[in-house]
Amino acid sequence: MPIPGAIIVPHPPLILPAVGRGQERGIQATVDAYREAARRAAEWKPDVLLLTTPHSVLYADYFHISPGLAASGDMGKFGARATKLDVRYDTELRREAIALAEREGIAAGTLGERDASLDHGAFIPLWFLREAGVECPILRVGLSGFSPLEHYRLGQCLARAVEALGRRAVFVASGDLSHKLKSDGPYGFAPEGPEYDRQVTEAMASGDFLRFLTMDEDFCDRAAECGQRSFQIMAGALDGLAVKPELLSHEGPFGVGYGVAVFTVTGTDNARRFAERYAAAERSRLADRKRAEDPWVRLARLSLETYVKTGRQLEALPDGLPQALTGERAGAFVSLHAGGRLRGCIGTTAPTTASVAWEIVQNAVSACSRDPRFPPVRASELDSIEYSVDVLGAPEPIDSPAQLDVKRYGVIVSYGMRRGLLLPDLEGVDTVERQIDIARQKGGIGPTEKYRLERFEVVRHK
């Protein structure tokens, strides 16, 4: 087999004795399992390691594959500069993988690297593998903001590149689990944290790679996971292969989940081709969501699709809209998501048109074509776009952050002519301080400037 097996491993710096200085004994089960996983990898006698890491270069719309002939790294950031590694890259395999990805329409390559040193997500697995005697070259692959399916497809390309060159590769998926397992941990607690670890370790133990693709993106974000997209690429690299799954350990005494798993390839299995199964499930889910859209969201969809298909804005409103859309004025935001990730968001804080309906028509066009963070939406993306519409209530001045609630109120931060706005109930915005800080930065307002605060409520349509 070109890929005889794969391992999932975490990357806590303190697992290395030079960094942990005794703390590593608090995760001894992980240490022991790590050594066992590295021993198995050594037994597979790889020519190359396919290593995915969340801490390499990360772009929303590009997979970065580390360039150059070689790289080195150390644990200096973690107080152990003398702990060093040097690695060689498999340059021929890299060229083949990038060429295959390009043929599949997957944006991947070597552009954009500013720091060539090994990140700790790569360093720590390599340290254990070196300890086990694995000295072969590597291919270091970063993650992206693309959908789970795109990560899976990249894994398929990596596997085809390995086979085309006659290599024997072991896949190393580096990634911690939830960072929110304990209230006294470094990242605090969220109820999604332990639940995420339960679900993802069940998938590891059973070899159910489809779970890596279908776990809800918002849920994963609230759990503050680290390795999910590494696992998705690994699943793609093992597409169509029968595996013997073994969850060697799972623990999280410091508030971050660490899982170690080994997948030994035992043959082929066409039932384990998950890309089309995932795509079919996504088509069904999106169709159900579309059928459930209310008039606010249907109008945003109609406006956007009309503009993308014709290049012109909607000229007349459809019949039968509720009076709340046609007879009232308010600011509104239209947000777009694709593959669980933001794809565009533009809005108005106060009414600029004759009605909420026209506000939505205008802002849907802006969200798909004028958000500077994203390229314009293409016609090929229309079936995968998910919409939400926020209709804003009138803002009211407040005297103190204590009058805010991140779930209920949005915030406007103003200083002179500068102002920044943030909607309520957003992923990753869990505190009032964080909400104000983001809005302040959006408005270009410094932390020491005496800004004013306003709050507003929204009605969210999804």
CATH number of the domain encompassing residue 456: 3.30.1490.150
Please state the rounded mean pLDDT for residues 43-65.
Answer: 96
Residues 6+ apart with CB under 8 A from 313: 303, 306, 307, 361, 362, 365
- Can you say whether residue 216 is alpha, beta or left, with left for phi > 0 and alpha for psi between -120 and 50 degrees? beta
Same domain membership, residue 197 and residue 322: no
Q: Which of 391, 409, 442 is the last residue of a domain?
A: 391
Residue ranges of the alpha helices (H) in 132-264?
148-164, 192-206, 210-214, 217-223, 228-237
Tell me if 454 is assigned to some domain: yes
Cα 125 to Cα 131: distance, rounded to the nearest angstrom: 10
Enter the tokens of residue 272. Answer: 């384990």
CATH number of the domain that 32 lies in?
Answer: 3.40.830.10
Do residues 244 and 264 touch, judged by C-beta distance below 8 A? yes
190: containing domain: 5-280
* Domain count along the chain: 3
Share of the chain above pLDDT 70, in %: 100
Q: Could you say which DSSP state residue 424 is in?
A: S
Cα 162 to Cα 436: distance, rounded to the nearest angstrom: 49
Mean pLDDT rounded to a whole number for the chain: 95
Tell me if 159 is assigned to some domain: yes
Tell me if 333 is assigned to some domain: yes
What pLDDT score does 79 carry?
Answer: 96
Burial state string for 200-228 with b = 16 or more CB within 10 A and e = fewer than 16? bbebbeebebbbbbebeeeebbbbbbbbb
Tell me if 67 is assigned to some domain: yes
Cα 231 to Cα 148: distance, rounded to the nearest angstrom: 10
Same domain membership, residue 349 and residue 314: yes
Compute φ and ψ for 409, nearest 5 degrees.
Answer: -115, 140
Please state the rounded mean pLDDT for residues 239-248.
Answer: 98
Q: Does 48 score more than 90 pLDDT?
A: yes
Enter the tokens of residue 369. Answer: 């074509």
Same domain membership, residue 120 and residue 14: yes
Cα 138 to Cα 121: distance, rounded to the nearest angstrom: 14
Do residues 49 and 129 touch, judged by C-beta distance below 8 A? yes
What pLDDT score does 419 carry?
Answer: 92
Tens digits of per-residue pLDDT, 424-450?
998 778 899 999 999 999 999 998 999
Residues 6+ apart with CB under 8 A from 99: none
Instruction: List the single range of 11-20, 132-141, 222-231, 421-430 with lowest mean pLDDT.
Output: 421-430
What pLDDT score does 137 carry?
Answer: 98
Tens digits of per-residue pLDDT, 113-162?
999 999 999 999 999 999 999 999 999 999 998 889 999 999 999 999 99
CATH number of the domain that 375 lies in?
Answer: 3.30.700.20
Same domain membership, residue 252 and residue 116: yes
Same domain membership, residue 455 and residue 318: no
Same domain membership, residue 419 and residue 332: no
Do residues 377 and 336 touch, judged by C-beta distance below 8 A? yes
Same domain membership, residue 207 and residue 97: yes
Same domain membership, residue 120 and residue 267: yes
What pLDDT score does 417 carry?
Answer: 92
Inter-CA distances, 306 with 170, 221, 324, 335, 454, Å? 48, 32, 23, 17, 35
Tell me if 189 is assigned to some domain: yes
Q: List beta partners, residue 390.
A: 333, 460
Same domain membership, residue 143 and residue 46: yes
Same domain membership, residue 399 and residue 379: no
Tell me if 233 is assigned to some domain: yes
Element at 460 (helix H, strand E): strand 452-461
Same domain membership, residue 308 and residue 240: no
Biggest CA-to-CA distance, the chain: 73
Do residues 457 and 393 touch, judged by C-beta distance below 8 A? yes
Cα 70 to Cα 61: distance, rounded to the nearest angstrom: 25
Report strand pairing: 385-392 vs 70-75. unpaired
In which band, very low, low, confident or very high, does the pLDDT at 217 lie, cut at 50, 70 and 90? confident
Element at 342 (helix H, strand E): strand 341-347
Round to the nearest angstrom and report the end-to-end CA distance of the chain: 46
Tell me if 285 is assigned to some domain: no
Tens digits of per-residue pLDDT, 104-123?
999 999 999 999 999 999 99
Q: Which of 391, 423, 446 is the last residue of a domain?
A: 391
What pLDDT score does 427 carry?
Answer: 77
Q: For the chain, how big is the Rg over CA atoms in Å?
A: 24
Enter the tokens of residue 121. Answer: 């997500």
Tens digits of per-residue pLDDT, 20-44?
999 999 999 999 999 999 999 999 9
Tell me if 288 is assigned to some domain: no
Enter the tokens of residue 200. Answer: 């993802």
Q: Does 384 score more than 80 pLDDT?
A: yes
Same domain membership, residue 435 and residue 386: no
In degrees, to the nearest 5, what angle opens at C-alpha 454 toward C-alphas 453 and 458? 145
In which band, very low, low, confident or very high, does the pLDDT at 61 lie, cut at 50, 70 and 90? confident
Cα 368 to Cα 335: distance, rounded to the nearest angstrom: 9
How many CA atoms within 13 Å lie on the side-chain side of 358?
12
Q: Which of 391, 417, 450 is the last residue of a domain?
A: 391
Within 10 Å of residue 370's Cβ, how many Cβ atoms? 12
